[in-house]
Amino acid sequence: MTKLLKISGILLLQALVQLSFMQTAFSQSVNLSVSNMTASRLTSSAANSPSVNILDTNDSSKNKSSVNKSSTNELNKKQTALKQPKSQWFEKAFAVMGTQAKVEFEWHDEKQAEQLIQQVIAEMHRIDQLMSPYKPASELSLINRQAAVKATVISPELFRLIEKSLYFSQLTRGAFDISFSSVGYLYDFREHKKPTIKQIEQLKGAINFHNIQLDKQKHSIFFSDKRVKIDLGGIAKGYAVDQCMAILMRAGVKNAYINAGGDSRIIGKKHDRLWYIGIQHPRDDKKLLANLPLEAVAVSTSGDYERYFETEGVRYHHIINPKTGDSVRAIRSTTILAKDSTTADALSTSIFVLGVSEGMKLINSMPDVSAIMVDKNGKLFVSEDLAAVE
């Protein structure tokens, strides 16, 4: 069983068999061992059976009392059920942060559900206005204009997320680095533009998270290299998903799904069943790499097919290697499963840069995190917890 996922034995088995089957198209890369699953793992034991009260047939008064009490309890349950408003599912898709987002949840009041949907949409747009490097009025754009000149006081929220980003930089030894934008800002994937070799050489030295200096007491940020620019594209959508899910949970929602681009988070179930989250095939948008039954988990997928263009047979995409200032080409896609979307988002970018060997080594060392990777040859790899079912 995985370190993290609350998946029933049968459904996990089905998911892993799907992955195993798909490897025929991707080349064999892992051995998904399911032979050790026993019948006791897949069926309920007698110990889990409902308890039964045995009535004393020699005491008619006890018997009558127990029956009357049981009938009363059943009547009370039915009356309580009738008083409870009937729940229904609500969903809304919308555009934000340069991608498509969706919220879906179960609630008992249509008017309140619409209010919650609007709160989720407003929160996504608020975070976009705060953290977008493409909006001149955003706080992130202000940082990029001023922080190389002087220490700039910023909002506590943005300070915390930048601080979290630097944590992932330390954890991954620089594979995750928000200062990638020091070169990355020269790429324009819509216009098929990329920096010249000379520009990359002149600027890639600025890609170094150590150049980002935070002052906790003053809540300020300063760039020690004037060439530095930052971009939270590898963590902001995951953060936004977490913030929106918090809105629903505070309202009392128990079953919900929120997605923004490649970042999803789920709580509870869908119609009393586990959620199924599809992982896109990196070279065929009409196919799924896997369809996983999940609950209470965040899923983030990073791929070289999200924002890219090709020139002379070379694919240029938005996931930049901090060491080279160029797109990573050893990996096609990475998927992380974790407890929260902020973590999943940052780690999916991180292991994309690290590659299969170092990326899986990192994930296998972390509790409550799982990974699926596809390399440049289409070969599929999964983390140790997904590679075998005990």
**Which pTM does this prediction carry?**
0.81
Instruction: Give the residue among 22, 100, 17, 13 at the shortest CA–CA distance from 287.
Output: 22
Where is the domain boundary, 223, 241, 257?
A: 223
What pLDDT digit, counting tens, does each position of 206-254 carry?
999 999 999 999 999 999 999 999 999 999 999 999 999 999 999 999 9
Do 217 and 280 lie in one domain? The reply is no
The CATH number of residue 184's host domain is: 1.10.3980.10
- Note whether residue 61 is domain-resident: no
Do 319 and 215 lie in one domain? The reply is no
**Measured distance CA(368)–CA(366) in Å, rounded:** 7
The CATH number of residue 285's host domain is: 3.10.520.10
Instruction: Give the residue among 118, 181, 126 at the shortest CA–CA distance from 325.
Output: 181
What pLDDT digit, counting tens, does each position of 256-297 carry?
999 999 899 999 999 989 999 988 899 998 898 889 899 999
- What is residue 38's predicted lDDT score, i.e. its pLDDT? 26
- Note whether residue 70 is domain-resident: no
Q: How many domains does the chain divide into?
A: 2
Classify residue 220 by burial, with Cβ atoms within 10 Å: 0-12, 13-18, 19+. Answer: middle
Q: What is the domain range of residue 169?
A: 134-223
- Note whether residue 166 is domain-resident: yes
Q: What is the mean pLDDT of the chain?
A: 84
**What's the per-residue H, E or C state across 311-351?**
ECCEEEECCECCCCCCECCCEEEEEEEECCHHHHHHHHHHH
- Note whether residue 129 is domain-resident: no
Where is the domain boundary, 206, 223, 240?
A: 223
- What is residue 86's predicted lDDT score, i.e. its pLDDT? 86
Instruction: Give pairs for 194-199: CB < 8 Å, separation 24+.
Output: 194/311, 194/316, 195/325
